[in-house]
Chain A
């Protein structure tokens, strides 16, 4: 099961170095806290969730940067050459890391991430998920989001198109359930989505 999904910026411009911004995030359910004697109040719980997501985004950003550096790929690689260039998701940096219990989530989690140009996509998973499936699902989500939100066209935005993201997530990652979808199932769902959200 996926605990959370997020999209965030990668490598801010020089002027904003160190700023990692979460563009979209979504939790699937909340963590159990059986030991929690006293409820902390809604406001504090919400704040904690936002900080948890930001902590993940920051880690993904630095992991992605380190991986690119290690491969000797300069930062310019991350800028789209032109809007017509197809994005090679297969060559995009991707990886996984572990979050120990308590930091920042109560339970241990695994993060699978994918960096596409200036965007980072990440799934926060329960500890023993099928990582091949998670990686495939993350690539699928990234491809769908890039295509349907046309994120690489300079005038596009994802900030004001949350309904697209939600529409894609409810179909391809319902309630955080990773699905074994073969290509025909994906095409069917994509058609269904395109019919509901004409581009």
Chain B
């Protein structure tokens, strides 16, 4: 089934030729004579007509038919590949050409270069209906690999299964000088991932047995080097001695991917392949995997004997193959843990050690899940491992799989598990927030492990200030992950603190930047924006009050307290222009929306009130980043009514604070508009019995003053112009309040008439057609008309709660349709749309 994403991609694609289908020319490092000796790229790919393609095909056919494998053939095939691959629309190749490409691919004598090109062209054509390629008679394993790549690109499950059978057959044929099996294992791995049922049970068992052998019993001698000693002498062989460890010492135990030497034998290659595919294989073939072949079959299995090696493991042969493989995998991982402790001579090997350690822990995790009898043996080596890793920052990424292991098996070692999480959530984000890969892995770990945290979820939740450091520093790739993570992070206890921190996120970015600047030696390459210098900031950090705020902002865990960070905003202002800070500021509105949609799921009245006040308070107390305030205000203004809807009495309960807000100094119109609207909507006895006439009058006066202020100050050039929405919402709210306290009706009528006149004169005055003037005029007229019938006005402006029930809209006998008709007549009469 195509998902929405795929559908939209296809829609985009069909909308017409996209830039992608244009010729591919590279710039910078890849510019130059890309296609020397050819027409210009654009005419080559975009305007290439069928007959030109036909000519190229004919040339390719001629060369391949004659088996002319000189330099012309690869050249022609490279062009053909480029033409086929450079467009997303189908290029049709003639059948003879397709057939020749397939024949060449299967030819036993054709050079590798040409076969790779043939396979590449066929793969680019796929899925292709007229393919007759078959892998049935190919003996050469390298060639089988190429054919397999074409077949797998077709996406036909039947083909995948028959390919699996063919590969298994070649794998099972044990010829002494047989084909090199190492080309086959990656195909097996791919096939089982694409079609888990492609192998029969006994085949899976047999292969498991052999994988165990390859893992554990690869040769510990280096391969023999064949060097021809001259024209007349016979090739002579030279023994290179035992394989070594990455630190140069002679290998102390069996061969692994961390054993090294000059040359490698075939079974050492297989060892590498086997370990590379091990985890996926265990998962696919183990219990709970798609095939569950772990039967108690203790007989010798077909294909299972590497007879020379098996002498050492007679006892092991009594184990069922899956168990045998797990046993060998366990030994292998233990050896890797030991080997990862060695000091590698080469940088590349030291990187590989880390990747191997991660894989070893992941494999151990799988083993323990499949067979709990491994658990105690594993725990006894993972505890010291964790102690070792936590002391060395170079190994920090290996801590994540260790933590995941404890999450999966924590009940067996609860105390240790707590210590592991504590260390992970306290130290790692604070010290490594600037590593993009670690940040990604850490957040993935949190996301994937959420269901497993259980009673340890508290540690994750209270660590949000630390987790947000990753977000603050790497907002572009992590925003969507945090949107998914937020609902699990937030609870009633942390919501207020989290909202503050979300609003301060760009400030946190700047603080982290400053922290890095203060910590790192000048000689190290800075990961921050070097174009901005902020020496003053570093100086100011010595101030003890600022220090305290700085520490608060950079806290590791939720503190339960809230600090006003205004002095920090001023201090960090020079960093507000950093691209990283701006990027973070751009992510905040999205995160705020995710936060509110999560919080409104569980917030009670008290929390809703608290958040609504916080929202008013913070709307003019933000770190000044270009464009930040406007973005945040848009979200806050949409969330304030949502909170009121969640808990309508909050308007009455927080009347004092709301009055202060509408009477106080204001910056933007968005939040004010939504607050004024909410007052009109929810300041009523129908929402809260505690609402008094006095309260309504107080609000009326405050809003009347506000309306007066914003309309009078309009001609002034020093004040920002008041948006017309604010004026219309103010008029509506005043009218609503008047409808609830009818003594106010004359006052509001007078006010509305004045506004109408004002709007009229503005429309005919010096600024004709000014935006919104018309809207003000219309609104004033409508409201005046409604007020002429106070009882209707009250019904319209303060509808009872039941009005939103469907019954009132379906049943023509209720008063609602009648009222609606009356109201629209009234409202529209003056506008002259309907005859009297």
Interface residues in chain A, defined as those with a beta carbon under 8 Å from any beta carbon in chain B: 1, 9, 12-13, 16, 18-33, 35-37, 40, 42-48, 50-52, 54-55, 62-63, 66-67, 69-72, 78-80, 91, 94-98, 100-104, 106, 110, 116-119, 126, 128, 130-133, 135-136, 151-152, 154-163, 166-167, 170, 174-186, 188, 196-197
Contact = CB atoms under 8 A, between A and B. Distances in A.
Interface centre among A69, A116, A159, A181 (most CB of B within 10 A): A159
Contacts of A135: 437
B194 A32 contact: yes
B532 interface: yes
B35 interface: yes
A21 B24 contact: yes
Given A1-B280, A131-B441, A184-B264, A163 B436 contact: no
Interface centre among A21, A44, A62 (most CB of B within 10 A): A21
B149 A175 contact: yes
A179 B33 contact: no
Interface stretch (B317-325, B345-353, B594-602): B345-353
Contacts of B32: 154-157
B521 interface: no
B308 interface: no
A95 B583 contact: no
11 contacts: A30-B153, A70-B583, A94-B436, A103-B4, A117-B28, A152-B29, A154-B29, A157-B34, A176-B186, A179-B272, A180-B356
A48 B6 contact: yes
Given A72-B529, A94-B437, A158 B30 contact: yes
A40 B277 CA distance: 32
B88 A182 contact: no
B74 interface: yes
B13 interface: yes
B273 A157 contact: no
A23 B128 CA distance: 22
Interface centre among A28, A47, A160 (most CB of B within 10 A): A160
Contacts of A151: 29-30
B579 A118 contact: no
Given A70-B529, A182-B348, A50 B20 contact: yes
A110 to B, nearest CB: 8
B346 to A, nearest CB: 5
B355 A130 contact: yes
Contacts of A72: 528-532, 578-579
Contact of B82 (A25, A154, A162, A182): A162
A72 to B, nearest CB: 3
A152 B30 CA distance: 7
B26 A177 contact: no
Interface of B: 1-6, 9-10, 12-13, 18-20, 22, 24-35, 41, 74, 77-79, 81-82, 85, 88-90, 112-113, 116-117, 119-120, 123, 126-129, 145-146, 148-149, 152-155, 157, 160, 183, 185-187, 189-190, 193-195, 246, 257-264, 272-273, 275-277, 280, 346, 348-349, 351-352, 354-356, 358-359, 362, 397, 436-437, 440-441, 444, 448, 474, 476-477, 480-481, 525, 527-532, 578-580, 583
Contact of B155 (A45, A66, A103): A45
A166 B476 contact: no
B74 A54 contact: no
A19 B31 CA distance: 16
Contact of A103 (B3, B77, B275): B3
Contacts of B194: 29-30, 32
A95 B128 contact: no
Interface residue SS majority, chain B:
helix
B90 A95 contact: no
B505 to A, nearest CB: 14
A183 B33 contact: no
Contact of A180 (B127, B146, B355, B529): B355
Nearest to A25: B85
B146 A170 contact: yes
Contacts of B530: 72
Given A103-B3, A163-B116, A175-B152, A69 B9 contact: no
B26 A175 contact: no
A47 B89 contact: yes
Nearest to B12: A51
Interface centre among A66, A110, A117 (most CB of B within 10 A): A66
Contacts of A45: 127, 155
A132 B358 CA distance: 8
A186 B272 CA distance: 12
A27 B153 contact: yes
B351 A136 contact: yes
Interface centre among B19, B77, B261, B532 (most CB of A within 10 A): B19
Contact of B579 (A22, A27, A70, A158): A70
Contacts of B354: 132
Given A47-B89, A72-B528, A133-B358, A157 B33 contact: yes
A175 B346 contact: no
A157 B277 contact: no
A66 B2 CA distance: 31
